[in-house]
Structure 1
Amino acid sequence: MSEQTVYLNGVYLPLQDAKISVLDRGFLFGDGVYEVIPVYNGHIFRIQAHLQRLDRSLKSIRLQNPHSTAEWLAIFEPFLETSKDQYFYLQITRGVAPKRDHAFPESVTPTVFVMCSDIKPFEGKQAGIKALTLDDTRWEMCHIKAITLLANILLRQEALDQGSAEALLVNKQGIVTEGAASNVFAVIDGVLVTPLNDGSILPGITRDVILELARRNGIACREQVITLQTLKTASEIWVTSSTREIIPVISLDGEPVADAKPGPIFKEMDALLQKEKKLS
């Protein structure tokens, strides 16, 4: 199926023909959630984990999942191609209300949108990227994969404007939370660490896979509080996401991370992840 074909409310149609009402609450309020799911050579990666996270996000905003796992798989199937790597973007909003009102409308049908695109190689994966630390100005429900991403967008853009590829966010207590569009890992005193899954971060699927692979392969790892001061002592820093996988950070706030090259634990973990993808 062409990547210009999308799914909207039960219908496959050309992207240019996909339209929603201006009274859709996703359009008016950002009242909805989304999910991003990678696909490798026609195989959907960690589909159950992604759909479970989708279900948690929906429950958090008091919406029922409109489809069962089997129904989601049936929706995805026409998009799959065995010769390439792809990713699904799916979005569910509360639907179209009769008027603009903050209160939840009664008896509305959720809007369901699915799009599939090719995964493009990320240039910074091999050489590493620059990152910038910024104050975490987002809301306090970051565990919900909500479509209200303006704060993340502004933070990422500030990093880009200053010549960095990602913003690493630091809360008012000086604790590192996550990236504007990623989770954060660091190697500190030889141990792979990542911030706690305590509601202040989005529980990334790639993050969980990395922790699983580390434990399975004898790489010392743990979830812990990471202060900005501690992060700046790290021998390696990574950011992770479903479409970019693991990206090494070689410069933080204009200062090199160790020797400013992707580190040995990154290389080991990336190799383990590539192997895991083939087994999916």
Structure 2
Amino acid sequence: MDDPTVYLNGTFLPLSQAKVSVLDRGFLFGDGIYEVLFYHRGKPIAAADHIARLKHSLNEVGIAYPDVDLLAISNELIAKQQLSDAKVYWQITRGAEAVRYHVPKPDTKPTIFIMAEYEKPVDIDAGPAAVKAITLPDLRWHRCDIKSLLLLPNCMAKMQAKQAGCAEAILHRDGVVTEGTSTSLLIVKDGKLVTHPANHWILGGITRLNLIAIAKEHDIDVCEATFTVEDMMAADEVMLGGTTTLVAGVTHVDNTPINDGQVGPITRQLFQWYFA
């Protein structure tokens, strides 16, 4: 649709008419939280998990959870645009005030924005995407568990990856791998699925959470533990998980082949189980 319907502060309206104040704290300070849901065949994947993460992020920054049904609004946008596979973006900022000041007033009313965008239908038979990645130092703040609007370090790293002809930048702190700029990072070694523990150094990825559960259901050993760049380079498989990335196999890291440059069997199997 050229001018799709979106939701802003209680109103459904065309995207071209959706306006927010230049004094909105999301615009001035990045003072807000966001979530992205993936709809597959008209149904949201792991909606309850996304809502739980949104509540966590809002609570951590002191923004009240909105008194609206975000999922119902999202479903209505999907229906209005007649979408099947789509991504739905939720953004809640602390709101707009009369003057720019670091400390917000306690009665500031949050700004709520929701939009739905078409996504190419998932070709399950084709299997997971094969992608290349680079490694970069993780320059983000120390509360990566909060899904904040403050994405400048992520954007800069993603731009470097694109300049290198890669889909993602895998981040590390002093050699310890954390995650991708917009994805969770998992490796396979000797049949075991390994991923960084869910703490303040990473975002608690919803796809990551579900891949862990699926792996355990199918008797794949799972270990939430830190590992180094060297460990990753020596892994049998490296994969990315994300709401819109879904499950992707990393075939090269810093131009070095992983699994002889092929998507690994456990990555392929997890992709199939994810949509079972």
TM-score under structure 2 length normalisation: 0.94
Q: Aligned partners of 1:3, 1:38: CA distance in 2, in Å?
A: 21
Instruction: Name the count of aligned residue pairs.
Output: 272
Give runs of aligned pairs for residues 199-238 of structure 1, distance below 5 A. 199-238=200-239
Asked if the contact 2:32/2:93 (under 8 Å) is kept, the reply is yes
Q: 2:145 matched to which residue of 1? A: 143
- The reply to whether residue 31 of structure 1 matches residue 31 of structure 2 is yes
Q: Aligned partners of 1:210, 1:106: CA distance in 2, in Å?
A: 39
Q: 2:244 matched to which residue of 1? A: 243
Change (3 A) 1:239 1:16: same
Q: Aligned partners of 2:206, 2:47: CA distance in 1, in Å?
A: 10
Q: Aligned letter for 1:131?
A: A
Deviation string for 1:124-155 (max 9, x for gaps)? Answer: 97551110000001111100000110110001
Q: 2:76 matched to which residue of 1? A: 78
Deviation string for 1:188-236 (max 9, x for gaps)? Answer: 1221111111210000110000000000111122111111111110111
TM-score under structure 1 length normalisation: 0.92
Q: Aligned letter for 1:13?
A: L
1:121 deviates by 5.7
Asked if the contact 1:3/1:117 (under 8 Å) is kept, the reply is no
Q: Aligned partners of 2:36, 2:149: CA distance in 1, in Å?
A: 12
Unaligned runs of 5+ in 1: 276-280
Deviation string for 1:12-54 (max 9, x for gaps)? Answer: 1110110000000000000000000111222221111110100
Deviates more, 1:105-114 or 1:77-86: 77-86
Q: 1:134 matched to which residue of 2? A: 136
Unaligned runs of 5+ in 2: none
Deviation string for 1:96-145 (max 9, x for gaps)? Answer: 01100001223111000000011236899755111000000111110000
1:239 deviates by 0.8
CA RMSD, Structure 1 to Structure 2 (Å): 1.9
- The reply to whether residue 45 of structure 1 matches residue 45 of structure 2 is yes
**Identity rate of aligned residues, in percent?**
38
Aligned partner of 2:173 among 171, 174, 185: 171
